[in-house]
């Protein structure tokens, strides 16, 4: 990469840097010494001057130069926090938490005091907080209560290059705020050099460049395409471990499952090698990992050992791990895509862009020259990878964002100042869905119901379900269902050696073929009735930390129900009532059984299947509603319950005609199919 660096001189510099840091006596002083060695530090005064002189600045700097952790501190030290909080947005919740923890250490306070963070369902900030990290989604939420960001003196939109949906929407909103609040400072920071686009968008805001340190990275390609990149990544790791000089390894994988599989494989293989090799420390990092385990990726590797970090995209630019010398890049990430035509949302493993691949490789050259093993061919890199990742706003469902924008009083979405506008059909679909849910009226204006729905940091369908449950007198149960859905699919676990036990335990929750939603309810109730005990979780093969999270989320939802005047009522015995309340939000997501054993979605027809993890997979009811559609090997419905089609006409008469439902229900089915919950 960078051809003409003087490696010896650079290495000497790095050695001196480390020496200066280790000379400090206390941990706190070491941290302060470390801060002074970051590339950012040399530009401290210059940056503060630029910020004083301009309202909006675009800041560009190599990952790891100190943008996220240092700039808010500089501003605090320079007195900006006297006029209001210093906010900093992050696309990922793990990054917001981890960075806040680090900055709290550097400032010398507890997280939640002067330095805090706010992520969905978890606010770790207080009246004392002056430096606040938050997800970009939470910043949008804060705007609902404080449309001019009045309590902030500075807002830093960090990791702007990631172009997440929420970051893109924030761009448009903060640009507007800057016009009528001349006292607020906006910083747009990005890790890529393509900052001109940001500058152009923000009325030619000046670009502040922070030259980073960067060592050359040797890029090695696979000679032929890899049939199994997980296996290839493991083999490459072991090859590095046995043959290459010291230095830690970073592997980019697509998600928790893959990371766990790789961890298992690495453990197996190294066990077989016994004491012939040095210790291999395996440190995973992904969104659902408990934070104490997340901190492990930052621990210094002991001499003689080697650390392997198994990470998702989060380590691409959001988190910097010191000591990485080898990067293994299989070339994939999980990306959502959305078809406004079918309403199908999917999280698919997709090839990364060239820009991403470059960022990944760069992680190997932060403190010394490094190597990047690309597990694909040079030819694939050149011909198959896109230059840049498509901004999320162009490939996702906009229901939630449109609801938020509407409640911020932005009526004309077609003319909203998007940096890259979403496809018109996607906007249209979101409006149509909100209309069907009753959140918008005939004129596209927010209804009273819509205003209440916007109070919930939830997908509009979930928000509608929660509000409807008040009238349907089962809101206690729906709060639970909603919280359990919010945890995602990390509730059950099935260890390989106890597969049968685990499956039987899980089946017990589905007894009576109640459907997945009610099964989730019964998991939660079982957990609570048994004193939230870890032994109950253990016996039932349920993840305790997911249950703790469900408990937290539930508390928040109940709090919001209180605020929006949704009465808390319980009606445990009445399953139909609970399912009806779910259908009040999810009538949009229904499908009915076909003769060939597949399902067809009722609106925008397409063929789908019940996910094998569902308790309904073998029951195959004639009518079902589902929480989400995922495209993996097939188009699967995940979290499925049977419904009575008559409910659809009852709940959503504007959306389903009695005739349409009757016609579908009247079709003849082969004898043994679709018996459950028939009309
Ligand atoms: P940038 O935002 O420019 O990518 P950061 O401010 O995130 O850079 O990182 C600056 C330095 O702080 C890096 O050397 C990184 O290793 C360190 N750092 C950041 N977060 C943590 C953490 N949670 N624990 C330990 N070190 C961290
Ligand atoms: Mg950063």
Is 237 near ligand 1, meaning CB less than 6 Å away? no
Is 99 near ligand 1, meaning CB less than 6 Å away? yes
- φ, ψ at 644 (rounded to 5°): -90, 120
Mutation choice for ligand 1 from 96, 102, 159, 295, CB with most ligand atoms inside 8 A: 102
Is 65 near ligand 1, meaning CB less than 6 Å away? yes
Whether the predicted pLDDT of 2 surpasses 50: no
Of 4 and 111, more confident: 111
Beta-strand relationship, 635-642 and 607-610 = parallel
Whether the predicted pLDDT of 454 surpasses 90: yes
pLDDT at 675: 53
Per residue in 10-56, pLDDT (tens digit) is 778 878 888 888 777 788 999 999 999 999 999 999 999 999 999 99
pLDDT averaged over the chain? Answer: 91
Q: Report the percent of the chain where pLDDT is more than 90.
A: 74
Cα(66) to ligand 2 centroid in Å equals: 7
**Band of pLDDT at residue 391, cut at 50, 70 and 90:** very high
Cα(381) to ligand 2 centroid in Å equals: 26
Cα(159) to ligand 2 centroid in Å equals: 6
ipTM of this complex prediction, to 2 decimal places: 0.98
Q: Which of 117-126, 187-196, 359-368, 615-624 has the lowest mean pLDDT?
A: 187-196
Contacts of 41 (CB under 8 A, 6+ apart): 35, 66, 70
Of 181 and 275, more confident: 181
Nearest CA to ligand 1 atom 7: 68
pLDDT at 678: 42
Of 13 and 466, more confident: 466
pLDDT at 672: 63
- What are the start-end ranges of the H helices in 564-674? 575-586, 645-651, 658-666
- φ, ψ at 566 (rounded to 5°): -95, 115
Instruction: Please identify, by atom number, the ligand 1 atom nearest to the C-alpha of residue 62.
Output: 3
Distances from the Cα of 301 to the Cαs of 99, 247, 253, 282, 322, in angstroms? 20, 9, 21, 11, 10
Ligand nearest to the CA of 65: 1
Is 323 near ligand 1, meaning CB less than 6 Å away? no
Is 285 near ligand 1, meaning CB less than 6 Å away? no
The whole-angstrom separation of Cα 552 and Cα 130 is 25
Cα(393) to ligand 1 centroid in Å equals: 28
Ligand nearest to the CA of 295: 1
Mean pLDDT of 598-605: 89
Of 424 and 24, more confident: 424
> Are 603 and 436 a contacting pair, CB within 8 Å?
no
Cα(158) to ligand 2 centroid in Å equals: 7
Residue 182's Cβ-count burial label (10 Å; 0-12, 13-18, 19+) is exposed
Cα(192) to ligand 2 centroid in Å equals: 11
Nearest CA to ligand 1 atom 27: 102
Is 61 near ligand 1, meaning CB less than 6 Å away? yes
The whole-angstrom separation of Cα 164 and Cα 265 is 33
Ligand nearest to the CA of 71: 1
- φ, ψ at 337 (rounded to 5°): -140, 160
Cα(135) to ligand 2 centroid in Å equals: 13
The beta-strand segments (E) located in 377-469 are none
pLDDT at 642: 96
Nearest CA to ligand 1 atom 10: 66
Instruction: Please identify, by atom number, the ligand 1 atom nearest to the C-alpha of residue 317.
Output: 4
Ligand nearest to the CA of 91: 2
pLDDT at 572: 72
pLDDT at 1: 42
> Are 417 and 175 a contacting pair, CB within 8 Å?
yes
Contacts of 635 (CB under 8 A, 6+ apart): 344, 606, 607, 608, 609, 629
Residue identified by tokens 């919950």 is 677
Is 38 near ligand 1, meaning CB less than 6 Å away? yes
Is 67 near ligand 1, meaning CB less than 6 Å away? yes
pLDDT at 295: 85
Mutation choice for ligand 1 from 37, 42, 66, 96, CB with most ligand atoms inside 8 A: 66
Cα(296) to ligand 1 centroid in Å equals: 14
Whether the predicted pLDDT of 344 surpasses 80: no
Per residue in 517-570, pLDDT (tens digit) is 999 999 999 999 999 999 999 999 999 989 998 999 999 999 999 999 999 999
């Amino acid at each position: 990469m960078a051809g003409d660096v003087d490696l010896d001189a650079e290495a000497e510099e790095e050695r001196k840097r480390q020496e200066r840091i280790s000379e400090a006596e206390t941990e706190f002083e070491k941290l302060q010494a470390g801060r002074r060695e970051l590339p950012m530090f040399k530009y401290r005064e210059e940056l503060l001057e630029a910020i004083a002189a301009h309202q909006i600045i675009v800041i560009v700097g190599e990952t790891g130069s100190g943008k996220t952790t240092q700039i808010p501190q500089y501003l605090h030290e320079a007195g900006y926090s006297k006029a209001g909080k210093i906010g900093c947005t992050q696309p990922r919740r793990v990054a917001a938490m981890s960075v806040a923890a680090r900055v709290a250490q550097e400032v010398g306070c507890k997280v939640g005091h002067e330095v805090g963070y706010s992520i969905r369902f978890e606010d770790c900030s207080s009246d004392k907080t002056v430096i606040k990290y938050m997800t970009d989604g939470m910043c949008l939420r804060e705007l609902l209560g404080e449309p001019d960001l009045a309590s902030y003196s500075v807002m830093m939109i960090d990791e702007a290059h990631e172009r997440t949906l929420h970051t893109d929407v924030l761009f448009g909103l903060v640009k507007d705020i800057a016009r009528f609040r001349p006292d607020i400072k906006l910083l747009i920071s990005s890790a890529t050099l393509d900052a001109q686009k940001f500058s152009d968008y923000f009325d030619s805001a000046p670009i502040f460049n922070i030259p980073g340190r960067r060592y050359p990275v040797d890029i090695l390609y696979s000679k032929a395409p890899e049939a199994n990149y997980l296996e290839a990544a493991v083999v490459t790791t072991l090859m590095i471990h046995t043959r290459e000089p010291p230095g830690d390894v970073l592997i980019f994988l697509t998600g928790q499952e893959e990371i766990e599989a790789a961890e298992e494989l690495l453990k197996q293989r190294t066990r077989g090698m016994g004491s012939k090799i040095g210790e291999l420390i395996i440190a995973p990092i992904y969104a659902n990992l408990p934070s104490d385990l997340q901190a492990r990726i930052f621990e210094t590797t002991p001499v003689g050992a080697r650390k392997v970090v198994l990470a998702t995209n989060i380590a691409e630019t959001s988190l910097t791990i010191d000591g990485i010398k080898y990067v293994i890049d299989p070339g994939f990430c999980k990306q959502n895509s959305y078809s406004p035509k079918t309403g199908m949302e999917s999280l698919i493993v997709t090839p990364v862009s060239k820009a991403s691949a470059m960022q990944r490789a760069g992680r190997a050259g932060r403190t010394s020259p490094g190597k990047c093993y690309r597990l694909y061919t040079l030819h694939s890199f050149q011909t198959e990878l896109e230059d840049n990742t498509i901004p999320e706003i162009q490939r996702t469902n906009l229901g939630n964002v449109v609801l938020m924008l509407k409640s911020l009083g932005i009526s004309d979405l077609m003319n909203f100042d998007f940096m890259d506008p979403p496809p018109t059909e996607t906007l249209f679909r979101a409006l149509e869905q909100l209309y069907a849910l009753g959140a918008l009226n005939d004129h596209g204006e927010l209804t009273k119901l819509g205003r209440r729905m916007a109070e919930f940091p939830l997908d509009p369908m979930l928000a509608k379900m929660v509000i409807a449950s008040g009238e349907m007198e089962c809101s206690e149960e729906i709060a639970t269902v909603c919280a359990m859905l919010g945890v995602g699919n990390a509730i059950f676990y099935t260890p390989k050696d106890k597969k049968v036990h685990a499956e039987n335990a899980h089946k017990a929750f589905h007894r009576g073929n109640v459907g997945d939603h009610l099964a989730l309810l019964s998991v939660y109730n079982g957990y609570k009735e048994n004193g939230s005990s870890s032994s109950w979780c253990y016996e039932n093969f349920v993840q305790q930390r997911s249950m703790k999270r469900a408990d937290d989320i539930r508390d928040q939802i109940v709090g919001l129900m209180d605020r929006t005047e949704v009465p808390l009522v319980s009606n445990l015995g009445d399953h139909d009532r609970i399912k009806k309340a779910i259908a009040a939000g999810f009538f949009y997501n229904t499908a009915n059984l076909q003769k060939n054993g597949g399902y067809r979605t009722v609106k925008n027809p397409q063929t789908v299947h019940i996910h094998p993890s569902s308790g309904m997979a073998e029951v195959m009811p004639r009518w079902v509603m589902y929480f989400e559609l995922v495209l993996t090997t097939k188009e699967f419905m995940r979290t499925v319950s049977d419904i009575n089609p008559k409910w659809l006409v009852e709940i959503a008469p504007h959306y389903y005609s009695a005739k349409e439902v009757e016609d579908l229900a009247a079709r003849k089915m082969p004898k043994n199919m679709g018996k459950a919950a028939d009309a």
